[in-house]
Structure 1
Amino acid sequence: MAHAQGALAGYVHPFDALPAPEDRSVALTDDLPVSAALGLVDYMEVVGFSDHRSTAAIWYRLLNCGFRIPAGAGTDAMANFASLRGPVGLNRVFVQTGTDATHEGWLKGIRDGRTFATNGPLVQFSLDGRGPGSEIRLPRGAHELKMRAAVASIVPIDHLEVVANGDVIAGFPLAGDRTAAKIEQTIAVTRSGWYTLRASADRAVHPVLDIYPFATTSPVYVIVGDEAIRSAADARFFLAWLDRIEAFVRAHTDWNGPAERESVLGSLARARAVYQERTQPR
């Protein structure tokens, strides 16, 4: 419905802890893997009313499956924030719109992944001069890409890291008051993947009224040869997640009717086919 009206649909304040499909002592009915597989997630609220690191860990798994989901941000629209994590507007997404500073240009910037999400630190990141949302195509073989990274923050930062395919491949200690840094170096690339820059602190730091300061860019995508970005292990992780959802659906009895139940099972089946295909090398 949102797409039919020209709007974007995002996944908001996802996870306070890492979902574990193998842990059957905890319910797991979150349908994020279904929505992602069916192309219904235009962005993911990586910085929101949730644990940012846990949320990012699931986002990384989705990116590893080849879904190009930009980083977004947002806060619950509640005026009484005394017992919550920060006021409205604390978690926000910055969008590179270029010369098109219109609502449509802003939506396109999110859709294209030209974003970073933050509750405080401001981050910049590029590979070979290409920023978040860009795709760099390279021939097969070994390559070196010039990386530029920067952070500016109103609070000290404990970690400034480049994440590639879910792993930290470079970390940069911040000097002095640990609120700013500019980095230039090369990154070795031999296979297809995605790259982001993230900045974080280990604890809450005033005036960032959240569980801890955190920021991340959307990915820069690098395609080497014709190799797709894939992770069979992460696809199997989501297949196990779908097993948990399907077990709940089949046991559930409070449906509006048989058609509703079959519609949900049909969505699960279509999502399962996507992840099964992505367990295969490409």
Structure 2
Amino acid sequence: MGYSDHRITSEIWYRLLNCGFRLPAGAGTDAFPNFASLRGPPGLVRVFVKTGAALDHARWLAAIKAGRTFVSNAPLLEFTLGGRDIGDEIRLPPGPHRLAARVGLASNVPVDHLEIIGNGAVVATIPLSGDRTRARDTVLIPVARSGWYVLRAYSDRAELPVLDLYPFASTSPIYVQVGDQLVRSATDAALFARWIARLEAAARAATAWNTGEEREEVLRRFGEARSIFEARAR
């Protein structure tokens, strides 16, 4: 999460998760005052990390790597699935299941949508009432295949004092492993393979390389990345 349209960039993240990559949610802003003044101050978007009882740098980094995070420019989120916390993996035998999702929202500005996303699609919408700044609910989520689930909150418009396009927050995923089934989307993997191929073509055509070795190293890395996505698209 950064200076971007958060829902649009989330869609790219969802597609990467659908390819089987376990990528936690993080956030950060640059410290360029001439740019930040157009969208809000540095620190506008933040990552919240569950480190446990003690807080130190090593535990904080380990918790980010483990995906025990949520990102936000205003709303605060709570999310468990099947009794497991953000960043956890739930292992289930093959077949259909129903998992209880417990969600919580606390916000200093109104929120229009509180949703659970599963494998890139909205699988549950939590109703909001009153001033739309607080919610607590439990919903049952049907699960039949391996995947991932996040809780997100957002508004349809900007809301002061949040100096951003709109209030937004999202948890990192809770992962579900059903039997031995892999998390894969051939469609999403093919999209990234094509994306990298376009970058690769642009890099081959570029003439501003510092050295030939630099050019070859970049092209090698593009090729390796494209091969990974091509394999997951099969």
Shorter-normalised TM-score: what interval? over 0.9
Q: For 1:88-137, what per-residue CA distance to the aligned partner results, in whole angstroms no more than 9, with x for missing partners?
A: 22210000001341110000010000000000000111101111110001
Deviates more, 1:196-205 or 1:249-258: 249-258
- Matched residue SS, 2:142: strand
Q: Which residue of 2 aligns with 1:147?
A: 101
Of 129, 135, 147, 1:181 maps to: 135
Of 179, 188, 194, 2:148 maps to: 194
Q: For 1:48-83, what per-residue CA distance to the aligned partner results, in whole angstroms no more than 9, with x for missing partners?
A: 111111110100011001111110111221445774
Identity of aligned residues (%): 59
Deviation at 1:154, TM superposition (A): 0.5
- Matched residue SS, 2:84: coil
Q: Which residue of 2 aligns with 1:206?
A: 160
Q: How does 1:1-282 map to 2 (within 5 A)?
A: 47-79=1-33, 83-280=37-234
Normalising by structure 2, we get a TM-score of: 0.97
Contact 2:67–2:86, Cα closer than 8 Å, also in 1:
yes
- Matched residue SS, 2:85: coil
Deviation at 1:139, TM superposition (A): 0.6
Structure 1 residue runs of 4 or more that deviate by more than 4 Å after TM superposition: 79-82
- Matched residue SS, 1:133: coil
RMSD after superposition: 1.2
Q: Which residue of 2 aligns with 1:10?
A: none
Give ranges in structure 2 of 5+ residues lacking alignment.
none
Which letter maps to 1:273?
A: S
Work out the CA distance in 2 between the residues paired with 1:251 and 1:100.
Answer: 51
Contact 2:25–2:172, Cα closer than 8 Å, also in 1:
yes
Work out the CA distance in 1 between the residues paired with 2:44 and 2:162.
Answer: 8
Normalising by structure 1, we get a TM-score of: 0.81
Q: Name the count of aligned residue pairs.
A: 234
Give ranges in structure 1 of 5+ residues lacking alignment.
1-46
